[in-house]
Amino acid sequence: MAQATRIRTHFIDAYLADAGLKRTPLIVCGDINDGPGLDAGEKKLFGSAVEKLMGSIWHSRRYLGNAIFDALPEEKQAQEKFQAVSTTSFKDPLFNYMRHHVWIDHILYSRTHGHQWVTRPKNHEQLRGAEIGDLYPHASDHYPLSVAIDLSARQSINSAVHEVGRNP
Note whether residue 164 is domain-resident. Answer: no
Residues 6 or more apart from 138 whose CB is under 8 A from it?
none
**159 occurs within a structural domain:** no
**What average pLDDT does range 133-144 have in this prediction?**
81
Mean pLDDT of the chain: 80
- Residue 56's identity, in one-letter code, is S
Q: Is residue 112 part of a domain?
A: yes
- pLDDT-derived band at 164 (thresholds 50, 70, 90) equals very low
Asked, for residue 124, whether it belongs to a domain, the answer is: yes
Query: Which residues, other chains included, contact 39 with Cβ-Cβ below 8 Å and sequence gap of 6+?
Result: 48
Q: How many domains does the chain have?
A: 1
39 found inside a domain:
yes
Of 67-76, 119-128, 158-167, give the lowest mean pLDDT range: 158-167
Domain hosting residue 33, numbered range:
2-149
- The verdict on residue 166 lying in a domain is no
- Percent of the chain past pLDDT 70, that is, above it, reads 83
- Residue 58: φ, ψ to 5°: -80, -10
Is residue 31 included in any domain, yes or no?
Answer: yes
Instruction: Render pLDDT for 50-107 as a digit per residue (tens, 0 to 9).
Output: 888 988 888 878 889 999 988 888 888 888 777 778 888 888 888 898 888 888 899 9
Pick the more confident residue, 112 or 111.
111
Measure the CA–CA gap between 12 and 64, rounded to whole angstroms: 9
Confidence of residue 162 (pLDDT cuts 50, 70, 90): very low
Predicted confidence at residue 153, as pLDDT, reads: 61
> What does residue 77 show for φ and ψ, rounded to 5 degrees?
-60, -45
* pLDDT score recorded for residue 168: 44
Helix and strand element counts for the chain (H, E):
7, 9
59 falls within a domain: yes
